[in-house]
Copies of this chain bind each other. A is one copy, B any other.
Amino acid sequence: MDTDTASRPTLADVAARAGVSPSTASLAFSGTGPVSGATREKVLAAAKELHYAGPDPRARSLRRGRSGIVGVVIDERVSEAFRDPVNIAMLDGVAEAIGEIDAAMLLLTGTTGSDTPVSLETAPLDAVVLFGCSPTLERSVALLTQRGIPAVVIEGDAGDDVPEIALDNREATRLGAEHLRELGHERVAIVALPLEPSRARGPLTAARVDASTVETAIERARGAWDVFPDARGVVTAASYVEEGVIAGRELLGDGGGGDRPTAIIAQSDLLAAGVIRAAEELGLTVPGDVSVVGFDGVAVDGLDYDLTTLSQPSQAKGRAAGDAVVRMLAGERPESVRFTSTFHRGGTTAPPRA
């Protein structure tokens, strides 16, 4: 019935039906500018009659130059990235912050295509938060600056004028290491986060660290070495509990004869949880036979220990990234932020067995 033109009605249709000009109809909808109550009513009524669902976001964003969408780039597939609660907490923080300007998050996986992530170059983004993903990072930032899209990086060096949300990874880890030294530990091993995009497992060597681009893992390794320069270690393939188990078995297993470490510094709580499980498997007690220090301060579901760890404010980091984005969209040029972790002495560390 009525003047339905098969396709969705447009603002112009509504305006025509209400007997006003499109401009007035627009004003009536957006609330900007002076419009008499009567006119607004008329327009709204016409809209209702025509089943008009509001301005087309595509047209609106073209005209306004804003889409209300903030991209979030994670360089793994969704299921992998979100297994670590740290990432979820950060995502939550971002969501909270940008929610205040009614923006939403577009989830982009860095490794979509072969070369450059398709969506990063083609999505209608107002800004982007990069989850410290080293491999793609450089390319991504270059792409974004060319497109003129503001970006913020969480844990990762993007150089020049990209605000960075950082953490005191090295200092924090050093704190944990010093705690172990004070307890009397000398043979300490490291369980490291992946160092390369390839996520190859293997021994943790200085050379490999130098060649890496994953700031987080690098800094945490250095922090441990600051206190125990000779600490050996293994690199895992991901921040999962199972990976921690694998690493733990290798470090604590029969292999090394008398040089079994008396303490292990894990670069994430999930890894730490895995190490503990591996220790239990091998009949070792924690912290009696081996002390374990984690990183993150997340509650690892199902872990029966109060983990000694370095708590980082994950949600706040995401929040800060989101805030930075909001400010950039407001034309400001936010500073980089550096968060600090706090040492939490739990029940997984004790003096080494005499």
Contact = CB atoms under 8 A, between A and B. Distances in A.
A331 interface: no
A114 interface: no
A62 B65 CA distance: 12
A58 B104 contact: no
A102 B77 contact: no
A340 B88 CA distance: 29
A54 B118 contact: no
A273 B96 CA distance: 30
B106 A78 contact: no
Interface stretch (A151-159, A163-171, A203-211, A296-304): A296-304
A346 to B, nearest CB: 15
The copy count of this chain in the complex is 2
Given A124-B67, A273-B302, A92 B79 contact: yes
Contacts of A121: 53-54
Contacts of A148: 8, 53
A122 B85 CA distance: 30
A112 interface: yes
A338 interface: no
Interface string A25-69: 000000000000000000000000001011011111110010111
Contact of A58 (B8, B62, B78): B62
Interface string A77-104: 1110011010011011001100100101
A67 B58 contact: yes
Contact of A106 (B105, B112, B241): B105
A277 interface: yes
Contact of A123 (B57, B62, B85, B300): B57
B78 A88 contact: yes
Contacts of A95: 77-78, 107, 109
Given A8-B148, A59-B62, A270-B301, A104 B123 contact: yes
15 contacts: A58-B58, A58-B124, A59-B62, A60-B122, A79-B315, A83-B88, A99-B112, A102-B122, A104-B106, A104-B107, A270-B301, A273-B302, A300-B301, A301-B302, A302-B303
